Amino acid sequence: MLTRRSFLTATGILALGSLLSSCADSAADLRVLLLTGSIPPQLLKAFRQQISSGASLDFKPQGQLKEVFSLLETWQGQNEEKKGLLTNLPKIPLINPRPPSVSDFVSLGDAWLKEAIQKELIEPVDMTQIPNWERLPSRWQKLVRRDGKGNLQENGLIWAAPYRWGTTLIAYRSDKLDWQPQDWSDLWDERLSDRIAIIDQPREVIGLSLKKLGKSYNTKNIAGVAQLKTELINLNKRVKYYSSEHYLQPLLTGDVWVSVGWSNEIIPLTSRNRNIKAVVPTSGTSLWSDVWVKPKGKEEQTNELSETAKKWLNFCWEPQAAKFISLFADAASPMINTLEKKELPANVNDNPLLSIDSAIFDKCEFLEPFSKQVQEQYMDLWTEVRKT
């Protein structure tokens, strides 16, 4: 998701601080730039205990995916925003800081993969020496197999290593409603007029409307879908706020009774506020995944992964890692459905937002990359509907 955000709490930052950089990053055996909050401290501690005591690790948190992408551009000399008046000035911390050394891996969202490949910011990853790759469910393997333009390709090169995933959910105020939303069609209920907040994402809003009509999120010819525009107009009449950053605040204040947004932000809210519940829509929802990508190296550098780097990728698909991610990262590991129930904590097994019913999960979809022409179709329809 292009604006999906994930931040550490203050206590998480303190806990993570002692586990991150153990040396100057230029001398580390493994350098990882990770999305803040996507890897719990417990997992980093377990990895340190597993590898050789002599290995030096440098894990750095980054607050948002767009910041990570900006660094990838900077490392390839493509970030124009960082050029200009400050370029030739001395590197002064907090004013004109020096970007970190190029990492072995960085976190990226699957929605950013196409652009990263097209701009040649990342390079394929050789999985032949990563034993657990073969255990990764095919849905995630297919997600990261792409051609040179970033489009899905069945036998394409492997461009990323998925390590956690989530969904788009319906969150609602149980103290305001005397009924429970179950599926996307419930958003059209007249009782929710002017009581809905939704993330400001055309693919998501048009996609859930397509699901209501029994279609796929990845429908390319939306002009051929009867009633789609009418459904969107009717939904628009019930939406009070579109915002990808502030869709949960009005739910907390009671200004809206339903919010549609990302699971990694909704799940922690349900655990802190007993009046807020959430559901995975029964007709299926969109999926997102955070992945490890390898920044493109210079021509004279070898593309071979270090032994420590191989161990890190393999470790992220181990049962222990799957447990920690699913328990502490407000998301699920892609390995969660490969494990027996006894291998996962009860509060993961019993959480329908993480251990999704298989009948529903089979209807869920990753948002596939579209061509420019199809993207324009979606944007044109979105603009037209928002004007009504």
Q: CA 143, CA 151: separation in Å to the nearest integer?
A: 10
Number of domains in the chain: 2
Do 177 and 158 reside in the same domain of the chain?
no
Do 22 and 127 reside in the same domain of the chain?
yes
Residue-level pLDDT at 74:
94
Residue-level pLDDT at 63:
87
Evaluate whether residue 358 is within a structural domain.
no
- Residue by residue, DSSP assigns 198-255 as E-S-HHHHHHHHHHHTT--TT-S-GGGSTTHHHHHHHHHHHEEEE-SSSSSHHHHHTS
Residue-level pLDDT at 51:
87
Each residue's pLDDT expressed in tens, for the chain with a length of 388 residues:
344 443 333 334 334 444 454 444 556 889 999 999 999 999 999 999 988 767 889 999 998 899 999 999 999 987 755 444 334 444 444 454 566 789 999 999 999 999 999 999 999 999 999 999 999 999 999 999 999 999 999 999 999 999 999 999 999 999 999 999 999 999 999 999 999 999 999 999 999 999 999 999 999 999 999 999 999 999 999 999 999 999 999 999 999 999 999 999 999 999 999 999 999 999 999 999 999 999 998 654 556 899 999 999 999 999 999 999 999 999 999 999 999 988 888 999 999 999 999 999 999 999 999 999 999 999 999 999 999 8
Q: What confidence tens digit (pLDDT) does each residue in 312-362 have?
A: 999 999 999 999 999 999 999 999 999 998 888 899 999 999 999 999 999
CATH of the domain at 218: 3.40.190.10
Evaluate whether residue 357 is within a structural domain.
no
CA gyration radius, the chain: 21
Do 275 and 311 reside in the same domain of the chain?
no
- Residue by residue, DSSP assigns 304-354 as PPPHHHHHHHHHTTSHHHHHHHHHHSSSB-TTGGGS-GGGS-HHHHT-TTT
Do 173 and 260 reside in the same domain of the chain?
yes
Residues spanned by the domain of 159: 10-165+288-351
Do 118 and 267 reside in the same domain of the chain?
no
Say what the alpha-carbon torsion angle 322, 327, 328, 333 is, to the nearest 10 degrees.
Answer: 30
Evaluate whether residue 2 is within a structural domain.
no
Do 32 and 158 reside in the same domain of the chain?
yes
Residue-level pLDDT at 90:
47
Do 173 and 235 reside in the same domain of the chain?
yes
Residue-level pLDDT at 157:
98
- SS3 category, 385: helix
Evaluate whether residue 359 is within a structural domain.
no
Q: For residue 326, what are the contacts with CB-CB under 8 A and spacing of at least 6? A: 332, 333, 336, 344, 348, 354
Residue-level pLDDT at 7:
31
Residue-level pLDDT at 309:
95
Residue-level pLDDT at 23:
47
User: Encoding tokens for residue 57?
Assistant: 């690790």
Residue-level pLDDT at 16:
47
Evaluate whether residue 5 is within a structural domain.
no
Do 259 and 317 reside in the same domain of the chain?
no
Residue-level pLDDT at 259:
98
Q: How many CB atoms lie within 10 A of CB 134?
A: 9
Residue-level pLDDT at 301:
58
